């Protein structure tokens, strides 16, 4: 059984091909530029030509791609976007138009194609990933499932903070199903408000197998929990320091006991440690994060999580985990542990996606959890089991 997992962040897209016949460590993996970085690089290279720009496709991750598109518009170069592509910049299209960007229909596109630099926006490109594997002699024609993770603020109504809207969504999911896998959905069951998750499904087109989508941060935290040192703890705080967002979950035997989410660019190590301490002692308030330009905080337990009882206080993962580097040299009273599930921090989200697939598709659970919890397949060497 094979499952393709793709964790799409701001800096990289991390790809892991699970094969139940192989040890987890023998699974093929790729760490490549993220789709938003690919768009950013292409537009930066095209900018000097001042060729008008036509963007079609679907909502995708913003950040670098949005900055490059807005730079085009500020330079006075005509930028045309279809309505679905324009939601990459803002769900409210009037705000996109205010940037000087032209929203065009399919009929209007026909008269533009010969005069513009055209680019299709999308987070998940199965054809490109499949071609990359095929170039190395690995087929993706026999997949049992595909799992993709992206970060989704959700489509907040006009006048509603997208930060608050996302946190209301997190609260709803946790209360409905107190599990990190609550943030994973079969493609047909995605909430209507989660427009970026839905765009992954639409842009994927016809696939050879079922598709599961999930939020990136819970996927990374869930994956980090398969580090043996982390899994042995009944109660723990796992912090994912991403390029754009930092999210920490306090986990106990009954599930999620608390969570906060902040913008990585708005915090430093002392501020992050303060939030983690409040998460631990149960005193963390939503306003502590939201009023500081973060997303917010939720507490579901009043009990105090005691530091100092084990070899480490907080589990850390994510591409910006170096924020905690000074803490390992006595600069912080918090003792971080850098999780390395199956020896690779960068694809922790992929392991979380695998676990989420097992929850969403129970028929695959025995094989997946057998690999994740045992760490091995059936003892077949890679050269004896060609992909």
Q: What DSSP assignment string belongs to 209-235?
A: S-EEEEEHHHHHHHHHTTSHHHHT-SS
How far out from the chain centre does Cα 320 lie?
14
Q: Contact at 8 Å (CB) between 216 and 8?
A: yes
Q: Contact at 8 Å (CB) between 80 and 53?
A: yes
How far out from the chain centre does Cα 129 lie?
17
Of 2, 1, 4, 3, nearest in space to 15 by CA: 4
Q: How many CA within 13 A on the CB side of residue 16? A: 25
328 against 314, higher pLDDT: 314
Residue 5: predicted pLDDT: 98
Rounded distance between C-alpha atoms, residue 276 and residue 271, angstroms: 9
Mean pLDDT of all residues in 92-113:
91
Residue 107: predicted pLDDT: 86
Residue 328: predicted pLDDT: 54
Of 11, 4, 3, nearest in space to 245 by CA: 11
Residue 386: predicted pLDDT: 52
- pLDDT tens digit sequence for 2-49: 999 999 999 999 999 999 999 999 999 999 999 999 999 999 999 999
Q: Is the predicted pLDDT of residue 375 greater than 60, yes or no? A: no
Every domain of the chain and the residues it spans: 2-34+125-220+346-384, 35-121, 232-339
Percent above pLDDT 70 for the chain: 94
Mean pLDDT of the chain: 92
Sorted by sequence, the CB contacts under 8 Å of residue 117 that are 6+ apart come out as 46, 49, 51, 52, 53, 54
Q: Which CATH superfamily is domain 232-339 in?
A: ATPase, nucleotide binding domain (3.30.420.40)
Q: Is the dihedral of CA 336, 340, 345, 351 positive or negative?
A: negative
Sorted by sequence, the CB contacts under 8 Å of residue 228 that are 6+ apart come out as none
Strand order in the sheet with 236-241: 296-299, 255-263, 245-252, 236-241, 314-317, 336-338
- For 138, 225, 330, the CA distances from 319, given in Å and listed in that order, are 28, 16, 22
Mean pLDDT of all residues in 153-158:
91
Q: Which of 41-45, 105-109, 225-229, 289-293 has the lowest mean pLDDT?
A: 105-109
- pLDDT tens digit sequence for 169-197: 999 999 999 999 999 999 999 999 999 99
- For 222, 258, 286, the CA distances from 281, given in Å and listed in that order, are 22, 10, 14
Q: In the CATH scheme, what is the code of domain 35-121?
A: 3.40.50.1100
Bridge partners of 248, per DSSP, are 239, 260
Q: Contact at 8 Å (CB) between 253 and 387?
A: no
Q: Which of 104-113, 246-255, 309-318, 378-387 has the lowest mean pLDDT?
A: 378-387
Q: What pLDDT band is residue 102 in, cutting at 50, 70 and 90?
A: very high
Residue 128: predicted pLDDT: 97
The answer to whether 35-121 and 232-339 have equal CATH topology is no
Residue 300: predicted pLDDT: 95
């Amino acid at each position: 059984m094979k499952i393709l997992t793709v964790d799409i962040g701001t800096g990289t897209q991390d790809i892991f091909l699970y094969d139940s016949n192989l040890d987890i460590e023998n699974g093929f993996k790729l760490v490549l530029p993220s789709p938003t970085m690919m768009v950013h690089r292409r537009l930066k290279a095209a900018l000097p030509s001042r060729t008008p720009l036509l963007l079609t496709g679907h909502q995708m991750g913003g950040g670098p791609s949005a900055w490059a598109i807005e730079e085009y518009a500020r330079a006075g170069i005509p930028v045309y976007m279809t309505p679905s592509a324009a939601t990459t910049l803002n769900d409210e299209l009037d705000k996109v138009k205010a940037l000087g960007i032209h929203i065009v229909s399919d009929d209007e596109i026909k008269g533009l194609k010969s005069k513009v630099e055209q680019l299709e926006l999308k987070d998940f490109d199965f054809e490109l990933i499949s071609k990359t594997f095929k170039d190395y002699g690995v087929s993706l024609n026999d997949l049992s499932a595909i799992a993709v993770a992206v970060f989704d603020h959700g489509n907040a109504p006009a006048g509603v903070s997208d930060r608050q809207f996302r946190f209301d969504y997190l609260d709803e999911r946790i209360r409905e199903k107190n599990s990190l896998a609550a943030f994973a959905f079969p493609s047909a069951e995605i909430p209507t408000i989660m427009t970026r998750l839905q765009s992954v499904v639409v842009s994927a087109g016809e696939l050879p197998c079922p598709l599961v989508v999930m939020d990136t941060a819970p996927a990374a935290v869930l994956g980090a929990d398969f580090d043996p040192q982390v899994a042995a703890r009944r109660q723990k705080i796992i912090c994912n320091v991403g390029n754009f967002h930092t999210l920490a979950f306090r986990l106990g035997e009954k599930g999620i006991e608390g969570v906060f989410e902040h913008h990585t660019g708005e915090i430093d190590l002392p501020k992050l440690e303060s939030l983690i301490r409040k998460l631990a002692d149960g005193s963390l308030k939503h306003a502590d994060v939201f009023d500081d330009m973060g997303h917010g905080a939720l507490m579901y337990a009043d009990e105090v999580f005691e530091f100092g009882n084990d070899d480490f206080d907080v589990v850390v993962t994510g591409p910006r985990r170096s924020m905690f580097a000074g803490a390992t040299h006595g600069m912080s009273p918090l003792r971080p542990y850098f999780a390395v599930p199956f020896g690779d921090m960068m694809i922790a989200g992929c392991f979380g996606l695998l676990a989420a697939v097992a929850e969403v598709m129970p028929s695959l659970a025995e094989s997946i959890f057998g690999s994740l919890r045992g760490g091995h397949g059936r003892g077949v060497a890679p050269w004896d089991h060609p992909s």
